Amino acid sequence: MSVGATSGLTAIDRARRGDVGAVRVLVIGRGRLRVIEAARAIGFGVRVVAPDAGRDLEDAALARDHHAVLVDADADADAEELVEQLAELAPNVPIVVVGDAPSDGANSHWIDAGADDYLAMADVRTTLRRAVEAAIARGRARELRRRLEHADRLAAVGKLAAGVAHEVNNPAAYVLMNLRTCREHVGELRALDSGAGRDDDGAPSPVAALLDEMAEMLDDNVRGVERIVAIVHALRSYARSDADEVATVEVATVCREAAALTAAQLRTRARFVLEVEPGVCVHADPRRLCQVLVNLLVNAGDAIPVGERDHRIEVVAQRRGDWASIRVSDTGTGIPASIRGRIFEPFFSTKPRGHGSGLGLAIARDIIDRYGGRIDVESTVGHGSRFEIVLPIDVVTEAPEVHDAAIARWPRARLLVIDDELSLTKALGRQLRRHHEVAIANDGASALELAERHRFDVVLCDLMMPDMDGLAVHDALGRCAPELAERVVFMSGSAYASELHRVVQARGLPLVHKPTPLVALLDAIEGARARAG
C-alpha cells in the first residue's frame, strides 16, 4: 500500500469492477511500448520515468500516487542495483521486473535483489495483471508486518519507560521530602536567629545571610526535583495501556504533562508557549487526553523546518461557555488544502516513509469522540496550523483548601510506616514526626511484629514490596489486629499496579501516589483515623 493513496487491494477490487486507472503503476525504463501497452490494456494507470532520471526518479519512487513499480531489466546496465536501491528506499512498494530473459532462470535472481516477481517480456501481456496483483498483496503483507513490529517495539518502549519511571520515582520522592524538610529547618533556624539577624548597620548577620542563601538554594532544588517528579508522573501515566479510566481531570494539568513529555524535542525547533486557564475540568481519561496532546505537539514540531529560526509552538487552554478549548498551534509549513480533509484517515501520513504510522490523528480523533468532543483544524501553507480540541466542561465542586493552620489543629497520632525503600521511610519519618509519632518498618514481617507489640492509630503501607506486598500485610493485619486493618492507607509509585489498585478500591481503602504532598498525606491519615473512629 502506498501511504496516502488508495489501498492497493482496494484499487485491485475497483479495477476488477471496471474502474480504469484504479491501479496505478510507475514504469522505470526507456518506455518500451510492449510493457506500457500491456499495462494500459488491462486498465492500469501508467507513469514512465527514465532509470537515469536521478532525483526525479527517487521522488517518483517515493511518491504516494502509485501502487506498484515496473522495472525494465534491459533498459539500464545497473538495473539490479536500481532494484536494490528501490527496495531499500521504499521497502513496502511492490516491485515487478520485466526483461527479455526467460522467467525460469531470472526469477530468483531478481527476487534476491529485492523484487517481488520477474516476468519475461514474451509473457507480459498474459501475466502482468496476475504478477502486479500478487506483488501488491505481498507489499501489503510486508507493511502490516512492519506495523505490527513497530507496535511491539512501542509496547516494549512503553514498558521500559514505565519501569524507568518507577525506579526514578522513589529516590525522587525521598529527595523531595528531605529538601522540603530542610527548608522547614532553615525557617526554624532563621526564627532562632531573629534576635541577632542584623548587624548594627542594619545589614544581615553572617548567619542570617547564610540561612537566606541556603533557603534560596533549597527552593531551587525543590523546584528542580518537582520538575523531575512531574515528568516521571507524566511518563508513568502515558506508558500505561489499561482500559480507559474516565474521571474528572483538570485540563491545565494534562497540558503541563504533555508539555513536559515533549519539551526536549520541541525546544530545538521553536519557542514553546503554554497558556492554561486553571480550574477548567473535563470528563476523560487523563492518559488518553495526554496522548492526544503529545501527538499534536510532536506533529507541530515536525512541521517546523529544521534549521529555521523564530518559529513558535503554542498551547492555549481555556473555558468557552460550556466547553473546554485546547488549541495547539505552530508556525510551520502548514497542510495543503488538497489533503486537509484526509489527515484524520487511518494510515494517511504527510511524513516521509518510516517517519510515521499514519494512525496518530485517527486515534486522536477517536479518543476525543469518545469523550463527546471534536477536533477542528485550520491551516495555511507557509504559515502554520492550528488544531483545537473541544470537550464538554465537567462542573465539579472544588474541595476546600487545607492550610497550615488546619494542619496544626490535627491531633497527633501513632503511625506505622511500611516501605521496603529505606531512604524513603526515613524521609517520610522526618516529614511526619513534626505532626505525628512515627515507627518505621522496611518489610511486612517486621511491621506485623510492631503491630502486635504496640498500638498504632494508622498504617501507611507501600503497595508493592518484595516477599510480602501491601495487600498481604493488610490480610495479616485483619487476622492479628482487625481494628488497625480498617485504618490502612496504601502508597504506590508504580505504573503496573493497576490490578492491585482496583483491589484496594474494592476493599474501600485509600490510596495515595508517591511522592505525595504533605498536606494530602496528612489529610489521608486523618481520614483513615476518622473512618475507624
3-state secondary structure (DSSP) of residue 252: helix
User: Considering only 6-20, 240-254, 350-364, which range has the smallest mean pLDDT?
Assistant: 350-364
> Do the Cβ atoms of 140 and 159 come closer than 8 Å?
no
Specify the amino acid at residue 80. E
In whole angstroms, give the CA distance from residue 138 to residue 204: 79
pLDDT confidence of residue 307:
75
3-state secondary structure (DSSP) of residue 64: coil
480-532 pLDDT per residue, tens = 999 999 999 999 876 555 677 788 888 889 998 887 888 888 989 999 988 75
Burial of 216 (0-12, 13-18, 19+ CB in 10 A): exposed
Q: Is the dihedral of CA 245, 246, 247, 248 positive or negative?
A: positive
Helix boundaries (H) for 251-285: 251-266
Average pLDDT on 67-73 reads: 88
Specify the amino acid at residue 416. L
pLDDT confidence of residue 5:
47
User: Considering only 4-18, 376-390, 446-460, which range has the smallest mean pLDDT?
Assistant: 4-18
243-263 pLDDT per residue, tens = 567 889 999 999 998 998 888
More confident site: 132 or 63? 132
Scored b (16 or more CB within 10 A) or e, 294-317 reads bbbbbbbbbbbeeeeeebbbbbbb
Average pLDDT on 442-461 reads: 94
> Do the Cβ atoms of 175 and 225 come closer than 8 Å?
yes
pLDDT confidence of residue 243:
58
Cell 503541563 belongs to residue: 256
In whole angstroms, give the CA distance from residue 51 to residue 127: 23
Indicate left, alpha or beta for 176 from its phi (over 0: left) and psi (-120 to 50: alpha).
alpha
Instruction: Answer yes or no: is pLDDT of 403 > 50.
Output: no
Average pLDDT on 60-64 reads: 67
Which uninterrupted H or E stretch holds 404?
helix 404-409
Residues of the chain above pLDDT 90, percent: 29
Estimate to the nearest angstrom the gap between the alpha carbon of 529 and the chain centroid.
38
Instruction: Answer yes or no: is pLDDT of 20 > 70.
Output: yes
In whole angstroms, give the CA distance from residue 388 to residue 61: 35
Angle at which helices 286-302 and 360-370 cross, to 10°: 150
pLDDT confidence of residue 261:
84
Instruction: Answer yes or no: is pLDDT of 225 > 70.
Output: yes
Would you tell me how many other CB atoms lie within 10 Å of the CB of residue 234?
24
More confident site: 219 or 165? 219
Instruction: Answer yes or no: is pLDDT of 324 > 90.
Output: yes
259-294 pLDDT per residue, tens = 988 888 888 889 999 999 999 999 998 888 998 999
Where is mean pLDDT largest: 1-15, 184-198, 475-489? 475-489
Residues in the chain, total: 533
In whole angstroms, give the CA distance from residue 508 to residue 505: 5
> Do the Cβ atoms of 476 and 448 come closer than 8 Å?
yes
Instruction: Answer yes or no: is pLDDT of 131 > 70.
Output: yes
In whole angstroms, give the CA distance from residue 74 to residue 215: 79
Average pLDDT on 183-187 reads: 86
Average pLDDT on 96-109 reads: 80
In 81-198, where do the E strands start and end? 95-99, 117-120
Average pLDDT on 284-312 reads: 88
Question: Which is nearest to 500 in space by CA: 262, 242, 231, 129?
Answer: 242
pLDDT confidence of residue 496:
54
Instruction: Answer yes or no: is pLDDT of 406 > 50.
Output: no
Average pLDDT on 17-45 reads: 84
Instruction: Answer yes or no: is pLDDT of 105 > 70.
Output: no
pLDDT confidence of residue 241:
54
Average pLDDT on 185-212 reads: 73
Question: Any idea of the CA torsion for 409, 410, 413, 415, to the nearest 10 degrees?
Answer: -130
Q: Grade residue 3 by pLDDT with cuts at 50, 70 and 90.
A: very low
User: Considering only 198-202, 286-290, 395-399, 508-512, which range has the smallest mean pLDDT?
Assistant: 395-399
